């Protein structure tokens, strides 16, 4: 096949965005949100999320159109705006977040199958890990056949997994009870929630997780058939997923009370539908979740390999990660990614608690790349770069950039200082690969500005390590 025939169209790019965001999170959303907030705070939180994430979607759309020569999404925008080390750190954090998320998908998949086959338990029994490993390397073999072929299968699984979600929305919508929905709007019967602001803040931790993947089309910008489709796919995918997430969450609050939802086991969508129609509803949602997770596994396998490949292409990562096979697949990047997934699957046999904590930590790590992308879009507006004779559009994009930056900072606040400290433990070791790449290109390791940033990251990592050692900080 020629290189042109392997290019991705609007449908495949949109499916990558939707497939990346709609994984396991939406199936656990009713319980996850109800455990942290009641109806009033939920409505406020979704309003903030809609505005903030839409601003980020517009940021990725604008950058894709205004900087068509920049391929690689969140990584390349950080590098262009803030230098090589910040770009590398964004790619490194994004990559870790992505493959750790895939470990979580494997565990959740076989935990769901445990509903039918008790031997799988909570997804971390020896049988579950063995089956996860087999599936991992089947996905690996599929991706090795080619980006175009894997993206086509992802498109099919994306459509298939939307069916049970849409049916859930219809059935639960028909059963919606306004009295249940408005019974305790502000959560006053649950003093452990705290005030409305605290409920909104806690809810943000969940909404961040379910929207990871919004940048999926940007990562594949170099493989798009038409550059303008990258921005379109980002916005279309975001709006569709936002509608589904809000409907699943809000409608659930109208058929079961907040305490009932908070007490459900995950995937809680299964419990909600079972409450409305009986046991077949739980079985139906469990099957839908299995299909959803298979599609998400494929999406993130593609994204993990691609982010290492594009960083190696311009020398930010070591050259060995740039190697492609005959099907134009970044083979070494894929092997490294899936090797790390396999290692952590084995770790879940012995230290599930630590693993689960790292999943939440990995989710928080992607916030920094989002922030740098928004900062770069804002810098373009402030400088007027690419806005010649477009004063009106520049003002509009300046406002969007400001909203995106403020929202990204709010997300960092919602995540908490603890996760910023712990994330430094994962960011700091990446300097070894960065140093190797710089050595291969004959460049000096850091600029003076980058030395200061690395020193801050290293100091933070040491403080986090000391906190873990003394018990003042925990995973």
Residue 365 falls within a domain, yes or no? yes
pLDDT tens for 168-211 read 999 999 999 988 888 878 777 777 777 788 888 878 767 777 77
pLDDT of 150: 58
Report how far Cα 364 is from the mean position of its chain's Cα atoms.
Answer: 9
User: What does pTM read for this prediction?
Assistant: 0.79
- CA 230 to CA 207: how far, in whole Å? 23
CB atoms within 10 A of CB 94: 28
Give me the number of domains the chain comprises: 1
Residue 110 falls within a domain, yes or no? yes
pLDDT of 5: 46
Residue 341 falls within a domain, yes or no? yes
Residue 466 falls within a domain, yes or no? no
Residue 437 falls within a domain, yes or no? no
Question: Whole domain around residue 191: which residue ranges?
Answer: 4-416
Residue 470 falls within a domain, yes or no? no
Residue 469 falls within a domain, yes or no? no
Q: pLDDT averaged over the chain? A: 83
pLDDT of 2: 40
Give the angle 115-119-125 at the CA atoms, nearest 5°: 105
pLDDT tens for 117-154 read 888 887 888 999 999 999 999 888 888 876 555 566 66
pLDDT of 199: 84
The residue length of the chain stands at 475
Cβ atoms of 252 and 46 closer than 8 Å: no
Position 44 pLDDT exceeds 50: yes
pLDDT tens for 247-280 read 999 999 999 988 899 888 777 898 899 999 998 9
- Percent of the chain scoring above 90 in pLDDT: 21
Q: Both tokens of residue 347?
A: 């770790």
Q: Residue range 66-71: average pLDDT? A: 78
Position 390 pLDDT exceeds 80: yes
Residue 89 falls within a domain, yes or no? yes
- CA 41 to CA 28: how far, in whole Å? 18
Residue 221: give its domain's CATH number.
1.20.1740.10
pLDDT of 129: 92
From residue 350, alpha-carbon distances to 44, 100, 124 in Å are: 40, 16, 9
């Amino acid at each position: 096949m020629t290189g042109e025939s392997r290019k991705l169209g609007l449908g495949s790019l949109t499916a990558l965005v939707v497939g990346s965001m709609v994984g396991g999170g939406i199936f656990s959303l009713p319980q996850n949100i109800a455990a942290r907030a009641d109806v009033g705070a939920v409505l406020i939180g979704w309003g903030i999320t809609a505005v903030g994430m839409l601003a980020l979607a517009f940021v990725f759309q604008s950058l894709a159109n205004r900087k068509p020569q920049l391929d690689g999404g969140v990584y390349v925008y950080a590098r262009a705006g803030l230098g090589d080390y910040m770009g590398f750190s964004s790619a490194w954090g994004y990559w870790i977040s992505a493959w750790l998320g895939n470990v979580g998908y494997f565990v959740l998949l076989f935990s769901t199958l445990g509903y039918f086959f008790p031997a799988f338990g909570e997804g971390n029994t020896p049988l579950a890990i063995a089956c996860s490993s087999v599936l991992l390397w089947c996905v690996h073999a599929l991706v090795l056949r080619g980006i175009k072929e894997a993206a086509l299968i992802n498109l099919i699984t994306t459509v298939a997994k939307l069916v049970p979600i849409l049916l859930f929305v219809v059935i639960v919508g028909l059963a919606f009870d306004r009295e249940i929905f408005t019974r305790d709007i502000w959560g006053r019967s649950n003093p452990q929630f705290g005030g409305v602001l605290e409920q909104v803040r806690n809810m943000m931790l969940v909404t961040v997780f379910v929207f990871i993947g919004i940048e999926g089309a940007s990562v594949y910008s170099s493989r798009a058939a038409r550059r303008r489709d990258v921005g379109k796919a980002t916005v279309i995918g975001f709006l569709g997923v936002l509608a589904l997430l809000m409907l699943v969450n809000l409608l659930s609050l109208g058929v079961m009370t907040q305490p009932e939802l908070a007490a459900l086991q995950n995937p809680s969508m299964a419990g909600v539908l079972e409450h409305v129609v009986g046991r077949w509803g739980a079985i139906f949602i469990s099957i839908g979740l299995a299909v959803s997770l298979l599609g998400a596994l494929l999406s993130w396998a593609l994204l993990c390999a691609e982010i290492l490949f594009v960083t190696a292409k311009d020398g930010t990562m070591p050259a060995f990660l740039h190697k492609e096979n005959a099907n134009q697949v970044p083979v070494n990047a894929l092997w490294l990614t899936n090797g790390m997934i396999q290692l952590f699957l084995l770790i879940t046999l012995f230290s599930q608690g630590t693993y689960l904590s790292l999943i939440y930590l990995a989710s928080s790590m992607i916030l920094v790349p989002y922030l740098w992308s928004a900062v770069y879009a804002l810098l373009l507006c402030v400088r007027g770069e690419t806005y010649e004779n477009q004063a009106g559009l520049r003002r509009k994009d300046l406002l969007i950039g400001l909203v995106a930056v403020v929202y990204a900072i709010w997300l960092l606040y919602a995540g908490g200082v603890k996760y910023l400290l712990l994330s430094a433990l994962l960011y700091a070791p990446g300097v070894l690969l960065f140093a190797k790449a710089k050595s291969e290109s004959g460049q000096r390791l850091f600029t003076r500005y980058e030395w200061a940033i690395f020193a801050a990251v290293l100091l933070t990592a040491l403080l986090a390590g000391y906190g873990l050692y003394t018990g003042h900080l925990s995973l």
